[in-house]
């Protein structure tokens, strides 16, 4: 006897997925709010990108270029790549999801690391596959742990490099060792959302590894250093076969015309990007030194945020600090969902916000200026 179902039911596993919760934006009762929870650049977008958006408004009645040729060619010119190996997405999040859609299914496994970007797990589970979480070492991706977790069911491995919310990174030598140790049918995804900020001689965002491999993909975003978070612009660099496969399931016109125009203008304006990177480097160093001086632990970061660890003392924990900071209009990111129950992630913000957080936490910790 069949049982009548009275309403649509999602397929098994969908309701087991924990929804992604973005950083807070509001502090009730506070006149001036500084949002330091989503790793947005305080310098905003290049004036040239803003002008490109304004110009795009003249043609709102027309569909955008479905292949985003102008943007792909601009990216290729800056990075010395073949535009045929570049695919653009509605943020790199879309591309991460499409890669899962193409390479994962029920019974498969996708490997992620314990403090990795939450979207990886969501996208893996969305395909019916199983996320396999491996431990990190000192808040950094552990290549040996990943290789030990590989089974015949493994189809994809996600690495955020630099990591979010840790700000740590994996040297290119370790990335190469990981790629060499993976079975050739396993796709290695290098999520380099914060690559523009890294100033380390042993770091490489993924271009070299992709160029010499058949199973590696690098994803990038315009939401961070380029200041285009509102437009949702991302791209990936991958072998031709992977680009072709993802293109087959990509929605037509997935990038709007303003996003294409702004992205192309932004990446051509490398002088503006370098201003953002220099500003960020100065404040990462300044914040780290100041926060450690008042008794807080800060994970060394190469990105545009710092992960601040608080004492295991009543009244001095991260939740207490978050309450104080929010009451003064400084919104940081609680990172319990990333495995840090007593830490806050702080995006590098405008100078007055950065100095305000330092002053508030100095008071919170009971230290004198």
Claim to verify: residue 260 and residue 208 sit in the same structural domain: yes
Place 15 in a pLDDT band, splitting at 50, 70 and 90. confident
Same domain assignment for residues 147 and 292: no
What pLDDT score was predicted for residue 39? 96
Last residue of a domain, one of 254, 269, 284: 269
Asked if residue 30 has pLDDT above 80, the reply is no
Check whether 25 has a pLDDT greater than 70.
no
Number of structural domains in the chain: 2
* Burial track 179-194 (b if 16+ CB lie within 10 A, e otherwise): beebeeebbbbbbbbb
Beta-sheet strands, E only, within 90-153: 109-113, 130-134
With a cut of 80, say whether residue 367 has pLDDT above it: no
* Side-chain-side CA neighbours of residue 38 (13 Å): 16
Assign 3 a pLDDT band (cuts: 50, 70, 90): low
Same domain as 94, residue 31? no
List the domain range (segments joined by +) for residue 99. 47-269
On whether residue 4 sits in a domain, the answer given is no
Q: What are the tokens at 102?
A: 């193409």
Q: What is the pLDDT of residues 287-328, one digit of tens each?
A: 999 999 999 999 999 999 999 999 999 999 999 999 999 999
pLDDT in tens, 101-130: 999 999 999 999 999 999 999 999 999 999
Note the pLDDT tens digit of each residue in 31-45: 789 999 999 999 999
Residues 294 and 147 in one domain: no
pLDDT attached to residue 7? 84
Q: 117 lies in a domain?
A: yes
Task: Tell which residue, 19, 94, 97, has the closest CA to residue 337.
Answer: 19
For 161, phi and psi rounded to 5 degrees? -140, 100
Please check whether residues 206 and 355 belong to one and the same domain: no
User: What is the chain's mean pLDDT, rounded?
Assistant: 95
**Mean pLDDT over residues 156-177, rounded?**
98
Do 66 and 197 fall into the same domain?
yes
What count of other Cβ atoms lies within 10 Å of the Cβ of residue 319?
12
Section 149-159 average pLDDT: 98
Residue 284 has pLDDT above 60, yes or no: yes
- Distance in Å from the first CA to the final CA of the chain: 76
278 with 225, same domain: the answer is no
Reported confidence tier of residue 92, pLDDT bands at 50, 70, 90: very high
352 and 340, same structural domain? yes
- Phi then psi dihedrals of residue 291, to 5 deg: -70, -40
- Cα separation, 352 vs 368, whole angstroms: 19
For residues 92 and 180, state if they share a domain.
yes
CB 115 within 8 A of CB 141: no
Whole-number Cα distances in Å, 7 to 4, 48, 68: 9, 50, 40
| Pairing state between β 86-89 and 234-237 | antiparallel
Residue-wise DSSP of 204-256: --SHHHHHT-SSEEEEEESSSTT--GGG--EEEE--HHHHHHHHHHSPTT-S-
3-class secondary-structure state, position 157:
strand
Question: Does the residue 198 lie in any domain?
Answer: yes
Q: Which of 248, 269, 290 is the last residue of a domain?
A: 269
Mean pLDDT, range 228-246, rounded to an integer: 98
Q: What percent of the chain has pLDDT over 70?
A: 97
pLDDT tens, 45-84?
999 999 999 999 999 999 999 999 999 999 999 999 999 9
Residue 59 pLDDT: 93
Dihedral angle sign, alpha carbons of residues 114, 117, 119, 124? negative
10 Å CB burial of residue 55 (0-12, 13-18, 19+) is middle
Residues 111, 30 within the same domain:
no
Same domain, 259 and 188: yes
* Count of Cβ atoms closer than 10 Å to residue 364 Cβ: 19
Q: What is the model's pTM?
A: 0.93
Give the domain-ending residue among 269, 294, 317. Answer: 269
The CATH number covering residue 244 comes to 3.40.640.10
> What is the structure's pLDDT at 31?
78
CA 71 to chain centre: 20
* pLDDT category of residue 23 using cuts at 50, 70 and 90: low
Phi, psi of 188 (to 5 degrees): -100, 115
Report pLDDT for 14: 83
Same domain, 223 and 204: yes
Which tokens go with 241?
């076969």
Condensed to tens digits (0 to 9), the pLDDT of residues 248-283 reads 999 999 999 999 999 999 999 999 999 999 999 999
How sure is the predictor about 154, in pLDDT bands with cuts at 50, 70 and 90? very high
Phi, then psi, of 305 in degrees rounded to 5: -155, 165
């Amino acid at each position: 006897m069949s049982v009548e179902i009275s309403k649509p039911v999602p397929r098994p596993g969908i309701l087991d997925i924990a929804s992604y919760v973005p950083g807070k934006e509001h502090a009730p009762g506070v006149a001036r709010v500084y949002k330091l929870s989503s790793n947005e650049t305080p310098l905003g977008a290049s004036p040239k990108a803003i002008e490109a958006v304004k110009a795009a408004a003249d043609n709102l009645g027309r569909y955008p270029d479905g292949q985003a040729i102008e943007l792909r060619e601009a990216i290729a010119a800056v990075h010395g790549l073949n535009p045929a190996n570049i695919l653009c997405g509605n943020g790199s999040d879309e591309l991460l999801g499409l890669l899962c859609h193409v390479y994962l299914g029920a019974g498969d496994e996708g490997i992620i690391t314990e403090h990795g970007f939450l979207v990886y797990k969501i996208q893996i589970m969305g395909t019916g596959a199983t996320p396999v979480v491996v431990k990190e070492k000192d808040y950094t991706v552990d290549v040996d742990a990943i290789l030990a977790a590989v089974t015949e069911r493994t189809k994809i491995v996600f690495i955020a490099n630099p990591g979010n919310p840790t700000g740590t990174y994996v040297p290119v030598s370790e990335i190469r060792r990981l790629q060499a140790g993976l079975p050739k049918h396993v796709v290695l995804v290098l999520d380099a959302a914060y690559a523009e900020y890294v100033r380390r001689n042993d770091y490489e965002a993924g271009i070299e590894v992709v160029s010499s491999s058949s199973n590696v993909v690098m994803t990038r975003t315009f939401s961070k250093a380029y200041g285009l978070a509102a437009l949702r612009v991302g791209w990936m660099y991958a072998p031709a076969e992977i680009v072709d496969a993802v293109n087959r399931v990509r929605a037509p016109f997935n990038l709007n015309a303003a996003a294409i125009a702004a992205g192309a203008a932004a990446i051509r304006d490398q002088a503006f990007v370098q201003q953002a990177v220099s500003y960020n480097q100065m404040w990462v160093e300044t914040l780290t030194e100041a926060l450690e001086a008042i008794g807080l632990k800060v994970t060394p970061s190469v990105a545009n945020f710092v992960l601040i660890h608080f004492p295991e003392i009543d009244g001095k924990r991260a939740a207490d600090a978050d309450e104080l900071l929010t009451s003064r209009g400084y919104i940081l990111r609680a990172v319990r969902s990333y495995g840090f129950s007593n830490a806050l992630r702080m995006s590098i913000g405008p100078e007055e916000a950065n100095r305000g957080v330092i002053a508030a936490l100095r008071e919170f910790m009971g230290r004198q200026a």
